[in-house]
Amino acid sequence: MLETSSTTLCLYRRRTRLRHLQRNTQPPRRLSELRGLHPLPPTNRHPLPTPAGPTLEIGRPSCPAPRHPQEGQRQVKGTVWLIGLAWLLTVPASALSGDLDMESITVEIHGRMFIPDRITLHAGRKTALRFRNHDTELHTVVAKELFLGVNLNVGGNGAPEFSPDGLTRVIIPPDGLAEIQFTPTGAGTFPYRCDMPGHDMRAVIVVE
């Protein structure tokens, strides 16, 4: 009888504890309540950086594109005009007029002959007289009367020889070229020759 009463008493005590625990235990909270206790950080607190505009390279001036094709043509024409003006300012006027009026004549030396053996120049006109040696030996051009007292320039790879009276002759190497620039002063017929031993080469220059 005593054992039954003690067992009943133990069960009663356990039930009493369980009820007490159930009363003190809070029910699970809802998701909305939890969000209220621990708010999430707003997503738009730090906005994304906006892309920067186009940048210009330092040291290179920006040139806006012309709005119309005619503006581009005007710019090109203006640039060409400025280049032409700069060229005219740097080149002497005498050189311009002389180059335009210069007469150019070439005499070929081949097989110990002057080809052609007769050429015509014009008095008072600036002339570039060229002698091109196609042979494998030296040749000379001797025209003392034509170049007597005349101002001239000798170019090419020939070797000119002068006297107090002017140019006496020009030695032209094999495959060489001699260019004589001068202005004939008076009309007439002027023979010239190659004075190398045994060559016997003769030709005529006529100045009208």
pLDDT in tens, the chain (208 residues): 545 566 666 677 777 776 766 666 555 556 555 555 555 555 555 556 665 655 555 555 555 555 666 665 666 566 666 676 665 565 555 444 455 689 999 999 999 999 999 999 999 999 999 999 999 999 999 999 999 989 999 999 999 999 998 999 999 999 999 999 999 999 999 999 999 999 999 999 999 9
6 within a domain of the structure (yes/no): no
Number of structural domains in the chain: 1
| Cα 131 from Cα 134, distance rounded (Å) | 10
β-bridge partners, 188: 207
pLDDT given at position 124: 94
85 within a domain of the structure (yes/no): no
With CA atoms as reference, report the closest residue to 155 among 134, 176, 124, 185.
Answer: 176
41 within a domain of the structure (yes/no): no
132 within a domain of the structure (yes/no): yes
| Cα 101 from Cα 38, distance rounded (Å) | 100
Are 136 and 110 in contact by the 8 Å Cβ rule? The answer is no
CATH number of the domain to which 194 belongs? 2.60.40.420
4 within a domain of the structure (yes/no): no
187 within a domain of the structure (yes/no): yes
pLDDT given at position 15: 73
pLDDT given at position 145: 93
